Amino acid sequence: MRPKKRPYAERLRLERARLGISQAQLAEAGGVSKTTELAYEADKYVFDVEYLDAVGAVGVDTTYVQNGLRVSEFVVQNFDWDLHQQLIVLALEAAELENVVLPPAKLAQIVRMLYTKFSESKRIEPAELAGLLRLVA
């Protein structure tokens, strides 16, 4: 009995079709032979991360190939909107305390930096926030 078919092969084929490129072109972009590309798309072999990185460089939506969600859908579903809102409030409150005027573009910069920092460390230090305000103000 053949194992259950993995969805990656079909998604890879769909991405290649969306981009309008041949199997040979995708194989070249991915640094593999056309035979290997055919095997990937036939679900005979599973590609590796290096291949995905390489084909991503020519426009393949690697997020879609891996999990079935377009990158935009993946971001929307995985973005922490509540945290984003809390960080906006935090940045505006800190700016007020520091007597710093934050134009919208600068506020957006700070919130993005805070979101990245919080996502990595799960905490924001007040001194870091003050430092960010001085950097962008």
Rg of the chain, C-alpha, whole Å: 22
User: Distance (Å, rounded) from C-alpha 66 to C-alpha 78?
Assistant: 15
1.10.260.40, 1.10.10.10, 3.30.200.20, 2.60.120.10: which CATH number matches 8-77?
Answer: 1.10.260.40
| pLDDT value of residue 137 | 61
DSSP the chain: -PPPPPTHHHHHHHHHHHHT--HHHHHHHHTS-HHHHHHHHTTSS---HHHHHHHHTTT--HHHHHHSS-HHHHHHHH--HHHHHHHHHHHHHHHHHTT----HHHHHHHHHHHHHHHHHHS---HHHHHHHHHHH-
What mean pLDDT value characterizes the chain?
88
User: Distance (Å, rounded) from C-alpha 40 to C-alpha 23?
Assistant: 10
| pLDDT value of residue 108 | 92
Structure-model confidence comparison of residues 125 and 57, the more confident one: 57
Angle at 32 between CA 27 and CA 38, to 5 degrees: 60
Structure-model confidence comparison of residues 50 and 135, the more confident one: 50
Q: How confident is the model at residue 42 (pLDDT cuts 50, 70, 90)?
A: very high
Residue 134 scores a pLDDT above 80 = no
- Tell me the whole-structure pTM to 2 decimals: 0.62
